[in-house]
Structure formats: structure tokens, C-alpha cells
Chain A
């Protein structure tokens, strides 16, 4: 089975620009999550989709971040306009149920650098 795929793997953009990260979950996984790790800090929750609906977006830092999940398949996370503090590694994960039994399957992440 193919894993969770994220791209790009790396992105370097200037402050004020827009960046869109994409995540393709494992086929059939209704639950999709975005997490972020800022340098030196722990991995932190951003939001959770069940199919195409946002179940919990309590971790989204501000309205410069917009997540969508088209038709309950792939998801995008757009940052507009990007700020220096948005730099970090953005992870996507998916699961069949709520993740309680088997945790999540994570992608390899997108390393975002805002200069």
C-alpha cells in the first residue's frame, strides 16, 4: 500500500509570498491531519479532516493558513502571506479510524523555509 505522500519535500520562499503544500493520504483513509514542527519545538497539531469536513481546526495559528480537502481525497495547506515564523516542517498524517488504535501514518513532511 502506498504511504502518505507530501510535496514538495522542500520549499524556500520569501516573506510575503504564498505557498501551497499538498498531502495525498493513504487511499481509503477518511481521517487526515496536519501537524507542524517549528525548529527546536515539539510537533504540534494544526487541524483534522474527516473526509472533506474540518473536524477540528483549533491548532491553526491564524487566518493566514487555509486548509482544504477536495472530495475527501488529497488536502492542501496554503500559507498566504508567509511570515518568517511559519518556517518549519509540516507533516500530514492519515488514519482509517480516529487514530486511537493504530496511531497515524505520517508523510515525510514538507520543510518550509521563509526568508
Chain B
């Protein structure tokens, strides 16, 4: 059975701190690893990684994938209160040819205090 494990499950920091969120996985027919931010209801897309060792960056957020060790990290530098959210890691995999689905971890609840 496909498995995605995120750590820590929750984290409280002060504005300006740097945080690192972890995601490890065991998935058959791995295709991609995605990070989503969930503030209220709808998860919103942050990054998709398919190749090992290539860092993706968007402003203060960055992510990297290690396909050999089966994990990814999401870094947020100079955190702001608006970064408070649940961060979801999901692994995309194919089955039966072209059937693609995401398997999610439980998420990391990040709280940034002013």
C-alpha cells in the first residue's frame, strides 16, 4: 500500500524564522511529488517535483526531491503570519497504464506567531 509520511505534524514558530518540512514516501510507480498549501478548504498548488536533486523555488519557498532516499523537503525562509496553514505533501503515481492519482500525507500544521 502506498504511504506518505510527513513530519513534524505541527510546528509553531515566530515571524522571521526559517522552517523545514519533511516528507518521506513508499509508492509503487512513482511519478511526481507535489506540495500543496491548505489555508481554509481548497489545497492550493505550490510545487511539483519529478527529478532528483533539482531545487524548485518560488519567493521564500523552495523544495527539493531525493528519489534515491525517497524524501522531499519544503523550506520556508523569513516566515510571515500569512504562511500559517497546513502543508500537504502528495505523491503522484500511475496504475493500469494512464490512471494517475495522488496519495497524501497527513500534513504539517504550521503556525507563525507575530
Partners in one complex: no
Residues of A at the B interface (CB closer than 8 Å) are none
Residues of B at the A interface (CB closer than 8 Å) are none
